[in-house]
A = this chain, B = another copy of it.
């Protein structure tokens, strides 16, 4: 932390700040400047956020953090890229896993059809919501445990691994028994109780970025899981909230190279939620791979127009198959393969 003092601060105020830094357990290093006096506070990084409160002291102009607040998720902690294995897929490797499937599990027939489609087209993980977070209490809330059973059945039939969302801490164990990967949805990215629970369980976690989370907050959410001892975390950019209304969210692909620089964790892209419209999914899937994503998550449906949720952003089978064919040369251009 660097504490910047105001232009004409009396020395007594500087000393008050110094004393308070010491009181909080840090060592102050003062640089007496001509225009500004600046104080560095040195000590255990992990509690430093608290030093922000020094901004209320007389004479203090601003408090500027100079280090990133995450540890285990950062490249300074581990400089080489991590990989996360889920079934046959390995996120962070040369081969780019594709996760495909419906937004919600709707019936036995639909899950089986879509699992076969995903498998045949080259995906390696099946997605499907059994417990659904819905903006409206009147919308379909998911099939629950029966949905989980259908996913497991589809895994048995196809060999695909399965990923599904967990909504509350008390469901984590039950869902972890069936699923190969636990998804934390965007709306739960800062549900810290849930993050801690999936951290304890140890299963691979797919952590989606909150729609208004900064990249730093996203990594702090991952840090919650890592600090419980679970390093199998895959990050997922899925669009942020901006003023633009032509798309449901603004897919922040800048986040891919930024995350690649800051963290060793694998990063994937969800172009379905990130655009909210099926026609834009294919170009943004390609863009995701081009800028370095370690995987994709794509919603597919046999008849999107009657889907119980998110039909508008789901690909029909033929569109999905074509996308999978078209993705291959982009993966190759990126020095990887599907």
Q: Does A176 count as interface, using CB distance less than 8 angstroms?
A: no
A253 to B284, Cβ gap below 8 A?
Answer: yes
Map CB proximity to B onto A293-321 as digits: 1 under 8 Å, 0 otherwise: 00000000000111111111010000000
Given contacts A56-B278, A288-B287, contact A40 B31 (CB under 8 A): yes
Interface size on A, residues (CB 8 A): 114
B23 to A306, Cβ gap below 8 A?
Answer: yes
In the assembly, what is the distance between CA of A79 and CA of B52, in Å? 26
Q: Does A330 count as interface, using CB distance less than 8 angstroms?
A: yes
| Minimum CB–CB distance for A150 against chain B, Å | 21
Contact of A283 among B137, B242, B292, B329 (CB under 8 A): B292
Copies in the complex: 4
Those of A202-220 within 8 Å (CB) of chain B: 210-212, 214-217, 220
| Minimum CB–CB distance for A38 against chain B, Å | 7
Given contacts A56-B304, A311-B52, contact A42 B35 (CB under 8 A): yes
Those of A96-150 within 8 Å (CB) of chain B: 133-140
In the assembly, what is the distance between CA of A287 and CA of B49, in Å? 30
B257 to A241, Cβ gap below 8 A?
Answer: no
Apart from the given pairs A243-B243, A329-B329, 11 other A-B contacts in the complex at a CB distance below 8 Å: A31-B40, A33-B42, A55-B312, A137-B223, A169-B170, A191-B191, A244-B252, A257-B280, A258-B280, A283-B292, A286-B290
Interface 9-residue window, one of A62-70, A80-88, A155-163: A62-70
Residues of chain B contacted by A174 (CB below 8 angstroms): none
Contact of A50 among B36, B168, B308 (CB under 8 A): B308
Residues of chain B contacted by A224 (CB below 8 angstroms): 137
B305 to A279, Cβ gap below 8 A?
Answer: no
With most chain B CB atoms within 10 A of its CB, the pick from A36, A187, A275 is A187
| Minimum CB–CB distance for A158 against chain B, Å | 25
A53 to B193, Cβ gap below 8 A?
Answer: no
Residues of chain B contacted by A139 (CB below 8 angstroms): 47, 49-50
Given contacts A4-B66, A191-B188, contact A305 B257 (CB under 8 A): no
Which residue of B is nearest A36, CB measured?
B66
Q: Does A9 count as interface, using CB distance less than 8 angstroms?
A: no
A136 to B307, Cβ gap below 8 A?
Answer: no
In the assembly, what is the distance between CA of A7 and CA of B202, in Å? 31
In the assembly, what is the distance between CA of A62 and CA of B55, in Å? 22
B254 to A275, Cβ gap below 8 A?
Answer: yes
B169 to A246, Cβ gap below 8 A?
Answer: no
A215 to B244, Cβ gap below 8 A?
Answer: yes
Given contacts A38-B2, A257-B283, A283-B292, contact A250 B247 (CB under 8 A): no
Residues of chain B contacted by A245 (CB below 8 angstroms): 214, 245
In the assembly, what is the distance between CA of A31 and CA of B2, in Å? 12
In the assembly, what is the distance between CA of A27 and CA of B100, in Å? 33
Given contacts A49-B139, A253-B253, A290-B290, contact A66 B62 (CB under 8 A): yes
